[in-house]
């Protein structure tokens, strides 16, 4: 219980600090953020956009790991865990896409410009969408679990193409991409100590939140299944 | 095992020649897709780069219309169990894959010929580059659509689901192939396109490996 209160306080602090701390050219006080050329006030989205994108990847990875586990052990609980992770992944994927698009409107001038990062998050949305469509089309539990596990493994091997290769063949606008000179590796060099601290606190807070949500999600699904089986048996 | 895969392919080939279902459907689909583009373009002069992209649109949708037959037909005729008895999963997959590769090559060659006849702007400057990317692109297309067809057949032959499932998997291949086709149209040398070619080749290898490893699970379901 105590850690839930702590998590609430942490995320509340991150939200307030991330939105309200001012960005100045030469930060002197502890609550001031430095000015990053090319990003300016837009830089504040880093506290909310990057964690959602990070959780999208984590959720996708966990969903694949549990799919892999299911294929090896054929334990239906693993499929439920994979499903719960993918559900959260879908939510965070939509959040990352929307926050990214809103940010892009102010930083690049348009909501969508097929930057490599935008292309890859779009492909991830498509994969999740296809995965849920596949799951909803199959009645039998075992069959659904096996086929969706296989599909998520196949989808997973295409991910390196989107993450590592697409940014190299397409020119990118996203901060941190290869040919980005003015707003280069933001996290390492352009942020000062307190900005980094709040950024990593936000990452930790969101990650703990994700694991909590995932835990509640899959436990409730397992309980529901147990109850269903009890009701059927009478 | 190889001779078994070959005889499985021969079985598919013969039954295809008898019914001509996939060939007819694919041929008609190619004509329909190209004429839809022709009608929508009208008298407009379209640029060379646009024809390169549209070329892959036709290829993608034609592949989606016909390639799922390989496994769906077995499921419809109820011959899956017999196949499971006589052959190992990898053999079945090899047989189906050979059949689909030949189908994809035939289909895409027809598309390429018809396409270059219909669109004046679609002129390939570097033919060798186009041919190389065409060959590797076709193999990748065949591999991915065969494994997705196996999933679809087990999921109860849901026709509409096939393009939905296949598109995200094929996206890296299609994006790079469009790029390579544009290079070939612009007459860019092999040397400058080698990174893109390497992507297509590695896509083929990765997909082939993953398909062979995962096909067991689908087939036994």
| Number of domain units in chain B | 1
User: Which residue ranges make up each domain of chain A?
Assistant: 2-233
Taking the Cβ of residue B196 and every Cβ of chain A, the question of whether any pair is shorter than 8 Å is answered with yes
Q: Which residues of B touch A169 (CB under 8 A)?
A: 176, 179, 195-196, 199
- Distance CA(A127)–CA(A157), nearest Å, equals 12
Q: pLDDT tens digits for B104-140? A: 999 999 999 998 888 888 888 888 999 999 999 999 9
Q: Note which residues in 34-63 of chain B have CB less than 8 A from chain A.
A: none
- Report DSSP state, residue A22: P
Test the A interface: residue of B146, B169, B210 with most A CBs within 10 Å? B169
Domain, as residue range, for B208 = 2-220
Q: Between the CA atoms of B202, B206, B211 and B214, what dihedral angle is there, to the nearest 10 degrees? A: 180
Query: Which among A8, A122, A136, A91 is positioned nearest to B160, based on CA atoms?
Result: A136
Q: Between the CA atoms of A140, B92, B94 and B149, what dihedral angle is there, to the nearest 10 degrees? A: -30
Sign of the torsion formed by the C-alpha atoms of A149, A150, A154 and A155 = negative
The C-alpha of B187 sits at a distance from chain A's nearest C-alpha, in angstroms, of: 18
Q: Name which of A159-173, B81-95, B146-160, B170-184 the model is least confident about.
A: A159-173
- Distance CA(B56)–CA(B180), nearest Å, equals 11
Q: Give, for all 234 residues of chain A, the pLDDT tens digit.
A: 788 888 888 888 888 887 877 777 777 776 777 776 666 677 778 888 888 988 998 999 999 999 999 999 999 899 999 999 999 999 999 999 999 898 888 877 888 888 888 888 888 899 989 999 999 988 888 899 999 999 999 998 888 888 777 766 666 566 655 444 444 444 445 666 777 888 888 889 999 999 999 999 999 999 998 898 888 886
- Distance CA(A170)–CA(B192), nearest Å, equals 14
Specify the CATH architecture of the domain A2-233: Up-down Bundle (1.20)
What share of chain B has pLDDT > 70, as a percent? 99
- Distance CA(A168)–CA(A178), nearest Å, equals 7
Q: pLDDT tens digits for B14-43? A: 888 888 877 888 899 999 999 998 898 888
Chain A residue closest in CA terms to B194: A169
Taking the Cβ of residue B168 and every Cβ of chain A, the question of whether any pair is shorter than 8 Å is answered with yes
- Report DSSP state, residue A183: T
In the three-class reduction of DSSP (H, G, I as helix; E, B as strand; rest coil), residue A34 is classed as: strand
Q: Is the pLDDT of residue B143 over 70?
A: yes
- Distance CA(B173)–CA(B104), nearest Å, equals 15
Q: Counting Cβ atoms within 10 Å, is residue B118 exposed (0-12), middle (13-18) or buried (19+)?
A: middle
φ and ψ of A24, to 5 deg: -125, 165
Tell me how crowded residue A77 is: count the other CB atoms within 10 A of its CB.
15
Cα distances from B169 to residues B49, B158, B206, in angstroms, run 24, 18, 12
Chain B residue closest in CA terms to A127: B168
Taking the Cβ of residue B164 and every Cβ of chain A, the question of whether any pair is shorter than 8 Å is answered with yes
């Amino acid at each position: 219980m105590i850690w839930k209160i702590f998590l609430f306080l942490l995320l509340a602090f991150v939200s307030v600090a991330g939105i309200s701390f001012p960005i100045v050219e030469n930060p002197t006080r502890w609550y001031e953020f430095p000015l990053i050329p090319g990003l300016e006030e837009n830089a504040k989205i880093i506290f909310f956009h990057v964690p959602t994108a990070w959780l999208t990847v984590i959720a996708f990875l966990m969903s694949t790991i549990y799919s892999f586990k299911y294929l090896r052990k054929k334990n239906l609980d693993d499929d439920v865990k994979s499903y719960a992770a993918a559900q959260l992944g879908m939510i965070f994927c939509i959040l990352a896409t929307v926050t990214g698009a809103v940010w892009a409107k102010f930083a690049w001038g348009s909501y969508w410009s097929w930057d490599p990062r935008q292309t890859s998050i779009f492909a991830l949305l498509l994969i999740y969408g296809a995965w849920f469509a596949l799951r909803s089309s199959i009645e039998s539990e075992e069959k659904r679990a096996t086929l969706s596990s296989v599909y998520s493994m196949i989808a997973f091997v295409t991910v390196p193409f989107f993450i590592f290769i697409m940014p190299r063949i397409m020119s990118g606008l996203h901060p941190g991409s290869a040919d980005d000179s003015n707003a280069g590796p933001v996290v390492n060099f352009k942020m000062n100590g307190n900005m980094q601290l709040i950024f990593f606190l936000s990452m930790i807070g969101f990650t703990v939140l994700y694991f909590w949500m995932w835990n509640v999600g899959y436990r409730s699904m397992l309980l529901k299944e147990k109850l269903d089986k009890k009701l059927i048996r009478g | 095992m190889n001779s078994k895969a070959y005889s499985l392919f021969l079985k598919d080939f013969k039954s295809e020649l008898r019914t001509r279902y996939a060939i007819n459907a694919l041929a008609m689909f190619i004509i329909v897709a190209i004429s839809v583009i022709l009608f929508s373009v009208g008298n407009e002069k379209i640029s060379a780069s646009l024809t390169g992209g549209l070329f892959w649109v036709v290829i993608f949708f034609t592949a989606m219309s016909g390639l799922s037959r390989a496994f769906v037909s077995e499921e419809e005729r109820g011959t899956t169990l017999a196949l499971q008895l006589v052959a190992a999963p990898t053999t079945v997959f090899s047989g189906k894959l050979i059949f689909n590769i030949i189908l994809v090559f035939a289909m895409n060659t027809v598309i390429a010929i018809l396409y270059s006849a219909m669109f004046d702007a679609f002129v390939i400057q570097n033919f060798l580059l186009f041919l190389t990317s065409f060959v590797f692109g076709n193999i990748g297309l065949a591999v991915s659509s065969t494994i997705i067809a196996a999933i679809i057949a087990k999921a109860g032959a849901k026709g509409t689901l096939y393009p939905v499932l296949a598109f995200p998997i094929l996206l890296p291949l299609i994006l790079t192939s469009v790029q390579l086709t544009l290079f070939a149209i612009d007459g860019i040398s092999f040397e400058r396109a080698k990174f893109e070619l390497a992507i297509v080749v590695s896509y083929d290898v990765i997909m082939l490996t993953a398909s062979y490893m995962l096909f067991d699970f689908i087939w036994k379901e």
